[in-house]
Chains A and B, each alone.
Chain A
Amino acid sequence: MDREELKNKIIEKWPEAVALEGGEWLNVQAPAETWHEIAHWLRDETDLYFDYLFCLTCVDWLKHLTMVYHMTSTHHRHNLVIKANLDRTNPVIETVADVWRTADFHEREVYEMYGVQFTNHPDLRKLILPDDWEGYPMRKDFEDPINMIKL
Chain B
Amino acid sequence: MYQETEIIKAIPGTDEMVLNVGPQHPATHGVLHLLLTINGEIIQKVEPHLGYIHRSIEKMCESLSYRQFIYSTSRMDYLSSHINNHGCALCVEKGLEVEIPPRAQYIRVLMDELTRIASHCLWWGATAMDVGALTPFFLAFRDREMITEIMEETCGARLTMNYIVPGGVMFDLHPDFQRKVKAFITHFKTKINEYDELVTGNIIFQNRMKGIGILSKKDAISYGCSGPTARASGVSCDIRKLYPYELYDQLQFDEILHEDCDSFARYLVRLQELRQSMHIIEQLIDNIPEGDIQAKTKAVLKLPKGEFYSRVETARGELGVYIVSEGGTTPYRIKFRSPGFSNLSALDHMTRGHKIGDLVAIMGTLDLVIPDLDR
Contacts and interface: CB of A to CB of B under 8 A. Distances in A.
A129 B333 contact: no
A52 B221 contact: yes
A1 interface: no
A22 B224 CA distance: 26
B324 A151 contact: no
Interface stretch (B150-158, B204-212, B337-345): B337-345
A8 interface: no
A141 interface: no
A65 to B, nearest CB: 11
A interface, by DSSP: helix, strand, loop or mixed? loop
A51 B237 CA distance: 13
Query: Chain A, interface size: which category?
Result: 20 to 34
Contacts of A102: 222-224, 342, 345
Interface stretch (B56-64, B256-264, B283-291, B353-361): B56-64
Given A51-B222, A70-B320, A23 B345 contact: no
Contacts of B94: 24
A127 B51 contact: yes
B170 to A, nearest CB: 22
B307 A74 contact: no
A101 B344 CA distance: 12
B54 interface: yes
Contacts of B324: 59
A146 interface: no
B242 A128 contact: no
B308 A127 contact: no
A105 B345 contact: yes
B309 A70 contact: yes
Nearest to B235: A74
B320 A55 contact: yes
Interface in B14-72: 48-51, 54, 56, 58-59, 63-64
A60 interface: yes
A82 interface: no
B341 A51 contact: no
A138 B62 CA distance: 10
Interface in A123-145: 126-131, 137-138
Contacts of B332: 59
Given A128-B1, A128-B54, A138-B58, A151 B242 contact: no
Contacts of A23: 306-307
B159 to A, nearest CB: 24
A77 B238 CA distance: 12
A52 B308 CA distance: 19
A54 B344 contact: no
A130 B49 CA distance: 10
Interface string A1-33: 000000000000000000000111101000000
Interface of A: 22-25, 27, 51-55, 57, 59-60, 68, 70, 74, 77, 100-102, 104-106, 109, 126-131, 137-138, 150-151
6 contacts: A54-B337, A55-B322, A57-B322, A101-B219, A128-B50, A130-B2
